[in-house]
Structure 1
């Protein structure tokens, strides 16, 4: 890896921490800006480095550094209902990078890649939340209730921020590729 790659990967891991701390508490799933930064990581760094930045973020939290939303940290966060979103950030960033890497960086291509990654992030987070609530925490919730809690309040914000991420990526990608 080049120094530039290491620096950009570390920068996006740090931005994830910022995104976690820029949060608005809601009853079960806090509103954060992590999906925005994960989307940017995939779009700007590509599949491997974008996912690596997210994996570094995850590992920092799992070893006990309070980088997750609300200052959460440590291996016990794995059983927190929202941990699936954190896993989804890595997979989503990878998918975004893969979908964008060999295409022209048009707003349309970037938007399609970012929305696809966002869908993966939501899928991971929602399914994980469902299983943790129902089988680990023994707090039965139907899938429609989980969607109402985990998706409905946030989807418009994330779609709008996806457009912002695509616009930023369109402007910044030429400079990063030089």
Structure 2
């Protein structure tokens, strides 16, 4: 990897740490006891901006840094104990999300906004499939599942963040599509 790749990957790892802990900075973003995070948004944006390989590397490094104990996960959690938490599947899914989003966009020579939106929604789908199934599996292994717990119930729980994630997915796609255009414009036209 080039120096630029290492720097941009590190930058997106740091951005993901901030996106994970947004409710720690803005406590009013807790809805019904569930902290609202921008992790899925950031994973999609990472794949869309960095591409499949660099995006997946950024999310892998983010997960490893957290597992090694750095407090980069939601509510400043970290450490190997996170591996058995019900929400850890979402953290693992970010690697796949970034890869899928980046790969779909890379297949087009001139990706349109539609390409970015479609890629982003495939990333969101991967996020929900991996994260929700991991949550179900951990609960079924006996990590605090309520008596009435079922596969349908875990998917029902996901309705609460779903609306927020759909909106943020569209926003990530639009930002990622516009970003190359903004970066290529001369400085003087950006501020006029």
TM-score normalised by length of structure 2: 0.86
Does structure 1 residue 131 correspond to structure 2 residue 116?
Answer: no
Structure 1 unmatched ranges of 5 or more: none
How far off its partner does 1:26 sit?
Answer: 5.1
CA distances 1:10-52 after superposition (whole Å, capped 9, x unpaired): 1111111011111344567532100001000000000010011
Greater gyration radius: 2
Bigger drift between 8-17 and 136-145 goes to 136-145
Q: Deviations over 1:100-148 (max 9, x none)?
A: 1121221100000010011001111100000111113152521111011
CA RMSD of aligned residues (A): 1.6
The 2-side partners of 1:146 and 1:102 are apart by: 34
User: Does 1:153 pair with 2:135?
Assistant: no
* Matching residue of 1:14: 14
Find out whether 1:164 has 2:171 as its counterpart. yes
Unmatched 5+ stretches in structure 2: 24-28, 185-192
**Secondary structure of the equivalent of 1:158?**
helix
Worse-matched range after superposition: 154-163 or 166-175: 166-175
Give CA deviations for 1:35-86 in whole Å, capped at 9, x if unaligned: 0010000000000100111011101101111110011111010000000000
After TM superposition, the score normalised by the length of structure 1 is: 0.92
Rate the CA distance shift 1:116–1:28 in 2: closer, same or farther, 3 A: farther
Residue 25 to residue 136, structure 1, CA distance change in 2 (3 Å):
farther
